[in-house]
Amino acid sequence: MGGSGARAGNAGSFGAEGAGGVRDLGRAFTRAIPPACDADPLWKSAPAGDAGRIELSLEVDERGHVTGFEVETRTPPRALVSLARRTVAMLEAGTFALGPGGLARGSQRLEISARVSELDAEEEEAARSFGLRYTWEAGRGTASFTQVGGRRVDVSVRMVRVAVATAAAP
């Protein structure tokens, strides 16, 4: 996958600062988009150009597991809802932190937008040779994939807000 995202800034990667195997949720979500969605047939039928925007909240339990998501956008584009569903499914086995404070129950709200373009055969070959790509830094990321047949999808992800549940007083 895109090596550019794997080292794009240390903020949010936690590493030695946090529990082993705990990953930044926004980075992991963005990284999972290309392999989760490159074969999704909804992108083949999406018109070229702006594919819309969606806001969603990813729910995380106290153990750092993604328990689901909620679409916050009225009448969201089908392809973006499918992107969210497929990407969240790839994250089910992981452990994620909502921020550098460690594991906590809460949610992370993301804004996702996409653009579809048609590539000619030469452009498609060049794009596919770069593989599935992503970047993430300072709460913003991009992901892209090219489907067989020349459909390229460029996705932008922006972290809108993090809400951490507070423990009830005894």
In this predicted model, what pLDDT tens digit does every residue of 5-23 receive, in sequence order?
Answer: 333 333 334 333 444 588 9
CA-angle at 104, arms to 102 and 105, nearest 5°: 160
With 0-12 / 13-18 / 19 or more C-beta atoms within 10 angstroms meaning exposed / middle / buried, residue 123 is middle
| Entry pTM | 0.81
Tell me: the pLDDT tens digits for 64-116? 999 999 999 999 999 999 999 999 999 989 999 887 767 889 999 999 999 99
Domain ranges of the chain: 3-163
Q: Is the pLDDT of residue 48 over 60?
A: yes
Locate 82 and state its tokens: 């499918």
**Amino acid 13: pLDDT:** 41
User: Across residues 39-54, what is the average pLDDT?
Assistant: 93
Residue 131: per-residue pLDDT:
63
Q: What is the pLDDT of residue 56?
A: 96
